[in-house]
Structure 1
Amino acid sequence: MDLASPLVWAQIISIGLMAVALGLDALSLGLGIGMKGIRKLDILKISVTTALFHMIMPLAGMRMGGYISMLLGKVATMCGGILLLLLGLHMVYSSLRTEESKSYDYRSFLGLTLFSLSVSIDSFSVGVSLGMFAGDVLLTVLMFGVAGGLMSVIGLLLGRRVGQWIGEYGEALGGVILLAFGIKFLL
Structure 2
Amino acid sequence: MSVALGMDAFSIGLGMGMLSLRLKQIMKIGITIGLFHMLMPLAGMTIGKQILLHFGNIAGLIGGLLLVILGVTMIRSSFSSNDEPLVQPVGLGLFVFALSASLDSFSVGLSLGIYGAKTWLTILMFGMMSMLLTWAGLIMGKKVQKWFGSYGEAFGGCILLAFGVKILFPF
For the pair 1:101 / 2:69, whether they are aligned, the reply is no
Q: How many residues align?
A: 142
| 1:98-151 alpha-carbon deviations (Å, 9 max, x no partner) | x943252212x1111111111011111110111111111111100100111011
Query: C-alpha distance in 2, partners of 1:118/1:152?
Result: 13
Question: Quick one: which of 23, 31, 40 aligns to 2:23?
Answer: 40
Q: What corresponds to 1:62 in structure 2?
A: 45
Distance 1:30 1:104 in 2: 13
Cα offsets for 1:15-69 (capped at 9, x unmatched): xxx2122212211111112112210000011011111110000000001116x39
**Counterparts in 2 of 1:169-180, with a 5 A limit?**
none
Give the CA RMSD over aligned residues. 3.5
Q: What is the match of residue 143 of structure 2?
A: 161
Distance in structure 1 (CA, Å) of the matches to 2:11 and 2:159: 4
Q: Which one-letter code corresponds to 1:41 in the other structure?
A: K
1:25 aligns with 2:1: no
Q: How does 1:65-144 map to 2 (within 5 A)?
A: 65=48, 68=50, 100-102=71-73, 104-107=87-90, 109-144=91-126
Residue 112 of structure 1 aligns with an amino acid whose one-letter code is L
Provide the rounded CA distance (Å) in 2 between the counterparts of 1:130 and 1:62.
Answer: 6
* Structure 1 residue 161 displacement after superposition: 2.3
TM-score after normalising by structure 2: 0.66
Q: Is the 8 A contact 1:62 1:130 kept in 2?
A: yes
Flag structure 2 segments of 5+ consecutive residues without an equivalent.
74-85, 149-154
User: Aligned letter for 1:101?
Assistant: V
- Percent identity, aligned pairs only? 41
Q: Distance in 2 between matches of 1:142 and 1:47?
A: 14
Q: Check whether the contact 2:71–2:159 (CA below 8 A) recurs between aligned residues.
A: no
Question: CA contact under 8 A between 1:24 and 1:171: conserved in structure 2?
Answer: no
Q: TM-score, normalised by structure 1?
A: 0.61
Q: What SS does the corresponding residue of 2:17 show, helix, strand or coil?
A: helix
1:15 corresponding residue in structure 2: none
Measured in 2, the distance between the counterparts of 1:42 and 1:114 equals 15
From the superposition, tell whether residues 120 and 132 of structure 1 become closer, same or farther in structure 2 (CA, over 3 Å).
same
